Structure 1
Amino acid sequence: MDDEYFQAINDNSPIIAWIHNISLNQQKYMKSKIKNYDFGHNVRYLMFIYDNPNCSQEDLVNMFCQSKGNIAKILKKFEEDGYIKREINPNNRRKYMLNSTEKANKLIPEFRQISKDWEIEVGLTDDEEFKKKLKEIAVKGMKLLDSY
């Protein structure tokens, strides 16, 4: 890696910096491929709602480590644009269940393919053990925060 652009990526870099770099680059890639839709990197929230029917705003806050206010603003725009619908959760009337609409459901397969293409291009695989380990680390990190 002789190029100055890549000098920051070296063996002494913390692993978490590499993970952060991977995440940001995937978001930038997605944003560049779907710029006609004006989602930016917020498309990840729409994909999460699609993948997790009846999820809550709190689920998004926890998964993406974003503030409640930021998520609320994004969800409001999605709802106004017709990409999601909110329904009162019958088990907890103070919470809403989030679901993607037909309008969003038509777009998600295209977005998923763009994401998959990026993963293949950079060498991420569907290795179940690898995915299991990453999920385990993510859950441990969330639990660690809960203990404070």
Structure 2
Amino acid sequence: MNDESFQGIRDKSPFIAWIHNISLNQQKYMKSKMSGFDFAHDVRYIIFIYDNPNCSQEDLVNMFGQSKGNIAKILKKFEDLGYIKREINPENRRKYMLTTTEKGNSLVPEIRKISKEWEKEVGITDEDVELKERIIEIAIKGMNLTEGI
């Protein structure tokens, strides 16, 4: 497909559809490059836990907009596979703190390498700092707007 193939939908599609498209295509790319792993786009949770040690399941729910039940299933799978561990939060014994294991820690650089390859292929560069910051700002405003809904 080339740019001309999208001429008819380019101007008529909502902006959010394009954001969703970017995410889906990045996930497809990641899955194609991560043979031997059956968790496709769920690797984003491992990266989040790696980058935010001692985060909670609730943090993942808030960041990714997934249900508590869905996040719990994914975390259970990662725990069973040895990529993450859960420890009871001493400040709130009803919550767990999540961290990556040694196995999870060794996976993250490979995930990041593949993700950077994808970014390079689609034209995302280190100079796109303002664009990235603006998208993060919009995402945070969206999370704040829908908090508690």
Normalising by the residue count of structure 2, what TM-score does the alignment of the two structures yield?
0.91
Q: Structure 1: which 5+ runs fail to align?
A: none
Q: Please list every run of at least 4 consecutive aligned residues from structure 1 whose deviation after the TM superposition is greater than 2 angstroms.
A: 6-9, 125-128
Structure 2 counterpart of 1:146: 147
Render the CA deviation track for 1:28-50: whole Å, top value 9, x for unaligned: 11111113122222111111111
Render the CA deviation track for 1:55-93: whole Å, top value 9, x for unaligned: 111111111110100100010011111110001112211
Task: Pick which of 121-130 and 109-118 moved more.
Answer: 121-130
SS in 1 for 2:13: coil
Alpha-carbon distance in structure 2 between the residues aligned to 1:124 and 1:7: 22
- Judged with a 3 Å threshold, the aligned counterparts in structure 2 of structure 1 residues 25 and 57 are, in CA distance, closer, same or farther, namely same
Q: Report if aligned partners of 1:49, 1:55 keep a CA contact under 8 Å in 2.
A: yes
Normalising by the residue count of structure 1, what TM-score does the alignment of the two structures yield?
0.92
Q: CA deviation at 1:12?
A: 2.1
Structure 2 counterpart of 1:86: 86
Q: Structure 2: which 5+ runs fail to align?
A: none
Alpha-carbon distance in structure 2 between the residues aligned to 1:133 and 1:36: 35
Amino acid at match of 1:135: I
Amino acid at match of 2:72: A
Percent identical pairs in the alignment equals 72
The Cα RMSD (Å) is: 1.5
